[in-house]
Structures are given as structure tokens and as C-alpha cells.
Chains A and B, each alone.
Chain A
């Protein structure tokens, strides 16, 4: 069973009288351990696809299943619980909580799970991303690259099955972007499933599986095909 399967995903936006499909019927299956890069031009629907797969948004139609469980029929709380336990997120603009230190930002999702022995793990994650000396600094006191590394550590705190990253290097200089990408690749080598949206062609060539989107549809998928069960809608 795939980690995540999506079938006939459609996302419609209405602007005035104009109806636009950001996703126009996408089928995809994500297996454990994959490093997937989703690329495409601006407006191709790559971020929209990531939001649907990661349960940050709800599709207009179609379905997303996690471990075979259809999330469309889940309660709001159940979807939140999946985001907490099963997924990790790295957003484009760091998305840290300004009042919390780097350490507290990393710790927060673990506190939500009531983990009592997570502080050492949070520290080890910050050490792993090279921020052992910046743990007590707040986001405003960190550079963009440092903030993004804090965000990566936060995404990993609950040992998620898959980490979603939405253009994590978009606001970074090239050197820092390379460091962040190297970190993500290192995580994948350790077995972490990663789904990465990027417009950086250098990034997607390094990915094991490349998905290219155009006008809300997948036009290239180097790794995958839906399983027969998914394709038949079973």
C-alpha cells in the first residue's frame, strides 16, 4: 500500500466569473523513501498539489488517501492529527513562530503529542542542521538559511513518514540554498520520504523522481504510475 495516493484531484478557483482549475485531475502515488521533486512554471499547480497531498487544503473533488485511508471522510481533528504525526512541513518563508526560540520552535509539535522526552531529540536535530549554538535565538536573530534549517528540524521532530517542502530554497542565496538542499538529500539518504516543490532545475535533476506539471496536470513523472487498484478507482 502506498504511503499517499491521490486520485483525480481537482482544485477549482473562481475569480469573478472566471473558473480556473489549478489541478485538473491529478493521479499520484507516493511510496515510502521516495524523494519527489515537483516542478513546473509559475501557475502550473505544483504548490496546489502539495497542499492537497499534505492535507493543508481540501480538493474541490477527488481524494487523497494516507495509508489507504480516505482523508475526505475524516474529521477536521483527524486530518490535523495526520499533519502532526505523519507529515512534516517546510514552508517557503521559514514560517517560524517569532516569540519562540529556535529550540522551542522545534519542540512545539512534540509538545502537542505530549512527548516528555523530546527535548534531547530537539537539541540533536538542531545540532544535526548545524545550529547547536543558535538554539536560544529567536527567528529574528537568525539568517534566512538558519531559519530554514530550524524549520527542517521542526519538520522532523515527530519523526514524520513524509516531509513536504514548498520551495524551501526560494528565499535563500545560492550557497545557502545548496546547503539546505544537501541537508534534505542527506535526510532522504537516511530513509526520509520527501516531497519537494521547486522551480530550481538544478534541484529536480538531483531528485530520484521528478514530476513536472503544466496547467494543473502532470506531464512528466519519472518514477511513477498509479497502482492498478488506484487507477481503477477500487
Chain B
């Protein structure tokens, strides 16, 4: 083992690369590029699914930070004080204060029912909102697929989540959904003992379950129906300055005393263990798929180097015959393997950075519960690249060593 042997290995590998078949080099490089993409992009998309779901949850429902009642309370204690603290905390942009109470919505109540026919009624989370404030936080108006958004001060209008409407539901999965409800239809909303008629202004659809199964009415109207005079609200979704750290903001709120009055969580925290479990599961899946990709890369390089070395066994015999050390010849195949791996990684890296990631940012993958984005960091790509290089070096070394170990004169004579 010497520097000279390594230099000779490089000398041989460089000439084989530059003067060998360009097409075979391109083909092998393409295979390695696809391998890199398989390892990086598949993993990135899998991890991007829950990440996309979290982003949607944050954007369409919770804001970056959400404040909810303590488990012992039905509403946020001293909401006015909490509101003031939130507004004074650095990083704050806007908030949406909501009332949120379980109730029911009944449609087609003026239609005659057959004897055993049940009322066309669904149980739902009824949210009382300030339409303009909600729009600033969640852009709720942009999820209206039929009709229109609530106008400010609309005391009789209602927005209904599409999963409460039978034509939007997934068949028998949701057994009780409202039939024949369209913008302009009249529905009865019951909150406790109080029932009131509303006119459907719009139907909203969202991949966030909390939005898609919710009913929105004016907050003042709802407060009246509930006969609540305390001025408290049930949840506050907070929007922060872009780039702010939600954890830091949440901690600041708790430090300022909000923690004694309510539960303060980042959007991610409010999703709970469920989303962590999904991320962990997808991570395992991505590792498994990545491992398979790596094995494919290793086997590909093994075959490529094996065939290369086998077809050049006479040249290898000649090299050994004239005194080129086995180590130098092995080095040449190692350099060849690393070149193939590196070329695939470089091209793959460029494709991910300048094509796939920007494309998916602009055109997220449309999954039922998420807008799938590509969750890939530079660290992820470096780790994948390192693994591919290690796998290909091992896969290239083994066949080269086997062919090089062949008897010298047998190799020269092609026996």
C-alpha cells in the first residue's frame, strides 16, 4: 500500500472514465442519480406528508400558536387579559378568538318525514367567529367551495364544513350527513336548549379535519344563543411574524401568566402524540425504502464493476504481470465506484435542489389529508450521499478484489 499505488490507481481510473464508453458512463451515472433520488426524494415525500399536514393545520386552523381552556374550564379564563398579553408579546401579528361548543345542525326540517324517518340532523362543533379576524388568521374565505364567506356582522349566516354535507362525504363512512344542503338552504342550529334558524352562506372544504367538520357562525350571535356574558372565548389562534419561533412565543405567553389561565401550545404541540407517531412511522418507512434503494445501488455497482472487471480480466492480468500491484488495481476500481456514485449524487443533488423541491413547493402533492411537500435538508442529502458512497465503495471493492485475485497468467491467457 503506497501513495504511488494510489496515484497509479487514479491514473488508470481517470483514463478508463475519460476514454471508456461515454454511453455506459452516462448510463451508470443515470442509475446512480435515480438511486440518489430514490433515497432522498421518497424519504423526503414520506416525511413531507405529515409535515404538510402540520403546515395545513397551522395555516387553516391553529395559527402558529393556539390558546385553549385549561382542562378544568370550559373557556379561557379572563380572556380579555389573555388577549392583551398576546397582543403585547413580540412576534404577534393577529389573532382569531373563537367560541367553540358542541351542538347540532338540522336540515330539511320543513319537509314531511315518513314514519320511522329520523330528522336530517348532524352533531358538530359550532364555532363562533369574527369573520374578518378569522380571515386574517386562516384565510377561511378561500376554502369556500360553494356560496360565499360570512360578511362582517352577518347574524343569520352559517358556513358548513363539507364533511357534514352528504355529497362531500366518503359514502358510508360518515353515516349522518346533511342531505340537499346548498347555499341558500335554511338549517336549524341547536346549542344547549337554544335553537335558531340560519341561512347557509357557503360550504367550506379543507384537508384539516377540525375545519372540514365544523360549522361557523357569527360569534356575537353564538354568544347570545349561549347566553354567555362573561366575554370569555374558547380558543385563540395566533398568527406570528414570519420567521418567528412559535415555541419561544408560547413560552413568553406562559411566562407572562397566560399559563395559569389557559393552555398555550404551538400548532405542532396541539396536534399531540398522534402526529409524532405518524412522523415516526413514516420515518421508519422512509428508512426501509431508503435501505432498499441503497441495496439496489450497491447491487448495481457490484454488477457494473463485476462485469467491467470480468471483461477486463486480461488487462488486469497484464497489469499484474508487468508489476502493477493488486492494491493499485483495486484502487482504480474504488475510484471508478466513487466516481459513479459521486456523479449520480451531484446530478441528483442538482435535480432535487433546482427542480424537484421548487416544483413541489409550487405544486404540492395532493393527498387527502395533506399537501405533500418535499422535506429534505442539506444534512439529509449529505447523509444519503455518504451512505451511497460507502455502499458503492464496498460494492465496487468486492467484485474487483475477486477478479484481481485471479491467477495472473490465467488472466493474461484468458483461461
- With a cutoff of 8 Å between Cβ atoms, the chain A residues found around residue B85 in the complex are none
Q: Are A51 and B4 in contact (CB under 8 A)?
A: no
Number of A-B residue pairs at CB separation under 8 A: 76
Residues of A within 8 A of B321 (CB): 56, 83, 89, 91, 95
In residues 172-204 of chain B, which contact A (Cβ within 8 Å)?
none
Contact B318 A112 (CB under 8 A): no
Q: Are A57 and B407 in contact (CB under 8 A)?
A: yes
- B4 in contact with A97 (CB, 8 Å): no
The CA-CA distance from A158 to B328 in the complex, in Å, is: 17
- Interface residues of B, CB < 8 Å — how many? 28
Q: Which residue of B7, B15, B318, B325 is within 8 Å of A91 (Cβ)?
A: B318
- CB B18 to nearest CB in A, in angstroms, measures 8
> CB < 8 Å: which of B7, B322, B326, B412 contacts A109?
B322
Q: Smallest CB–CB gap between A65 and chain B, Å?
A: 19
B3 at the interface (CB under 8 A from A): yes
Q: Which residues in B have their C-beta under 8 angstroms from that of A87?
A: 323
Contacts known (A89-B321, A99-B15, A104-B15); A56 close to B326, Cβ less than 8 A: no
Q: Is B213 an interface residue (CB 8 A)?
A: no
- CA separation between A147 and B407, bound complex, in Å? 25
Selected from B4, B19, B318, B320, the residue in CB contact (under 8 A) with A138 is B19
Given the known A-B contacts A80-B323, A84-B324, are A112 and B8 also in contact in the complex, defined by CB atoms under 8 Å?
yes
CA A80 – CA B405 in complex, angstroms?
A: 13
Cβ proximity bits A73-101 to B, threshold 8 Å, 1 near / 0 not: 00011001101110111010001111110
Q: Which of chain A's residues have a CB closer than 8 A to the CB of B7?
A: 111, 114
**Bound: A23/B372 CA distance, A:** 74
A108 / chain B contacts, CB cutoff of 8 Å: 8, 11, 319, 322, 324
Binary CB contact string for chain A from 36 to 74 against chain B (1 if under 8 A, 0 otherwise): 000000000000000100001100000000000000000
Interface extent on A, as a size class? 20 to 34
Chain A residues with CB under 8 Å of B408's CB are 56-57
Tell me if B's interface is mostly helix, strand, loop or mixed: helix
Q: Is the C-beta of A231 less than 8 angstroms from some C-beta in chain B?
A: no
Judge whether B353 is part of the interface by a CB distance below 8 angstroms. Answer: no
Cα separation A95 to B324 with both chains bound (whole Å): 14
What are the residues of chain A within 8 A of B19 when measuring CB–CB? 99, 138
| Nearest CB on B from A56, distance (A) | 5
User: B409 near A: Cβ within 8 Å?
Assistant: yes
Q: Are A154 and B322 in contact (CB under 8 A)?
A: yes
Q: Which residues of B contact A99 (CB under 8 A)?
A: 12, 15-16, 19-20
Contact A91 B412 (CB under 8 A): yes
Nearest-Cβ distance from residue A52 to partner chain B, whole angstroms: 9
Q: Give chain B nearest CB distance to A232 CB in angstroms.
A: 30
Specify the chain B residue showing the minimal Cβ separation from A87: B323
B1 nearest in chain A by CB position:
A77
Asked if A95 and B412 sit within 8 Å, CB to CB, the answer is yes
- The answer to whether A225 has its CB under 8 Å from any CB of chain B is no
A80 near B4: Cβ-Cβ < 8 Å: no
Q: Mark A146-163, 1 if CB is under 8 A from B, else 0.
A: 000000001100100000
Q: Scan residues 314-356 of chain B and give those whose CB is less than 8 A from a CB of chain A.
A: 314-315, 318-326, 328
A142 in contact (CB, < 8 A): no
Distance in Å from the Cβ of A72 to the closest Cβ of chain B?
16
Is the C-beta of B5 less than 8 angstroms from some C-beta in chain A?
yes
| Contact with A113, one of B4, B16, B409 (Cβ below 8 angstroms) | B4
Judge whether B324 and A112 touch: CB under 8 Å.
yes
| Complex: chain A residue closest to B20, CB-CB | A99
Give the chain A neighbours of B8 by CB distance below 8 A: 108, 111-112
The minimal Cβ–Cβ distance linking A156 to chain B, given in whole angstroms, is: 12
- B407 contacts across to A, CB distance below 8 A: 57
Separation of A155 and B322 alpha carbons in the complex (Å): 8
Chain B residues whose CB sits within 8 angstroms of the CB of A76 once the complex forms: 326
B contact residues around A98 at 8 Å (CB): 315
- Chain B residues closer than 8 Å to A155, beta-carbon distance: 322
Given contacts A51-B409, A97-B319, A111-B7, contact A80 B15 (CB under 8 A): no
Question: Bound state CA distance, A87 and B321, in angstroms?
Answer: 10
Residues from 381 to 415 in B contacting A, C-beta threshold 8 Å? 407-409, 412
Complex: A104 Cα to B12 Cα, angstroms: 10
Please give 20 more A-B residue pairs, beta carbons under 8 A apart, in addition to A56-B412, A96-B318.
A56-B409, A57-B409, A77-B325, A81-B323, A84-B323, A84-B325, A88-B322, A89-B321, A95-B314, A95-B318, A95-B412, A97-B315, A99-B16, A109-B322, A112-B4, A112-B5, A112-B8, A112-B324, A154-B322, A158-B323
Q: Which residues of B contact A (CB under 8 A)?
A: 2-5, 7-8, 11-12, 15-16, 19-20, 314-315, 318-326, 328, 407-409, 412
**Closest 3 interchain pairs by CB?**
A84-B323, A114-B4, A83-B323
Q: List 16 A-B contacts (CB under 8 A).
A: A56-B408, A56-B409, A57-B407, A80-B325, A80-B326, A89-B321, A91-B321, A95-B314, A97-B315, A99-B12, A109-B323, A109-B324, A112-B324, A112-B328, A114-B4, A138-B19
